[in-house]
Amino acid sequence: MDDILKRLSYCVEVGKVNRASPYPPAMRDQDGADELARRALDEGISPDDLLEKALIPAMTNVGNKYSRQEIFVPQMLMAAKAMNSAMAHIKPYFLSGETKRKGTFIIGTVAGDLHEIGKNLVAMMIEGAGWEVVDLGVDVGAIKFLKSIEEHPSAVVGMSALLTTTMDNMRKIVAEIKEKDPKRVILVGGAPVTMDFCKKIGADFYSPDPQGAINYLSSLVS
């Protein structure tokens, strides 16, 4: 792996946001994820490589370390901050100059769940694929989804959940939306979600990644 990608991955893993950040103390006055992501892109490394070879593996390592109780929530939070600072540089590459939108996509992380990185990635890539994206943020309940559907009557709805506990909220929100609006198309995703779960809760499609979500949305409008 390119040296810069290795360094970027390490910065995300240990939560080194940028040069000015005093955390972690051992990396004081060194470049962080912010500067390294910018430099990698300027050197011609593709945004896909940044994501797949540096950023996502770093977050996987963070999750594994957390599972082994080698790190705790504050370190996970710093890793997420570093990841977000790198993602800010990637975003413009995923946004096309297209003005005619293929449709509207409402997305949110379900109630009780504050994980936003995967949801943001899906949102930014779907926007780049030519959809208008309405991002409701995190901790989104049925009322907020339904209000947004009212404002965007032809929208497809997307939901993300990262916790096994909040998957149950996903089930409840899907049920509430489908009760009021049975034909509304709902796409679900997030690390613990599966196609089997998607079918059980009455959602329309599950994708493990942003590209699968884009392919599914394209199939709806082609």
Q: Which is nearer to ligand B1M, 148 or 160 (CB)?
A: 160
From CA 62, how far away is CA 145, in angstroms rounded?
31
Minimum separation from the CB atom of position 152 to ligand B1M (A): 15
Q: Which is nearer to ligand B1M, 121 or 177 (CB)?
A: 121
Minimum separation from the CB atom of position 219 to ligand B1M (A): 14
Identify the helix (H) or strand (E) that includes residue 105: strand 104-109
Long-range residue pairs from 93-98, CB within 8 A, at least 24 positions apart, any chain = 93/41, 93/47, 93/128, 94/47, 94/124, 94/125, 94/127, 94/128, 95/124, 95/127, 95/128, 96/128, 96/129, 96/130, 98/130
Q: Give the residue closest to ligand B1M by C-beta.
A: 118
Contact 92, 117 (CB under 8 A): no
Minimum separation from the CB atom of position 45 to ligand B1M (A): 18
Residues that bind ligand B1M (CB under 6 A): 56, 59-60, 62-63, 66-67, 73, 76-77, 79-80, 107, 112-119, 121-122, 158-160, 162-164, 187-192, 207, 209-210, 213
* Share of the chain residues as helix, strand and coil, in percent rounded to the nearest 5: 55, 10, 35
Q: Which is nearer to ligand B1M, 41 or 108 (CB)?
A: 108
From CA 191, how far away is CA 204, in angstroms rounded?
17
Q: Which is nearer to ligand B1M, 40 or 83 (CB)?
A: 83
Minimum separation from the CB atom of position 170 to ligand B1M (A): 10
Minimum separation from the CB atom of position 29 to ligand B1M (A): 25
Q: Report in angstroms the alpha-carbon separations of 127 from 31, 43, 95, 156, 209.
A: 30, 25, 6, 13, 15
Q: Which is nearer to ligand B1M, 132 or 209 (CB)?
A: 209
Minimum separation from the CB atom of position 110 to ligand B1M (A): 10
Q: Which is nearer to ligand B1M, 47 or 158 (CB)?
A: 158
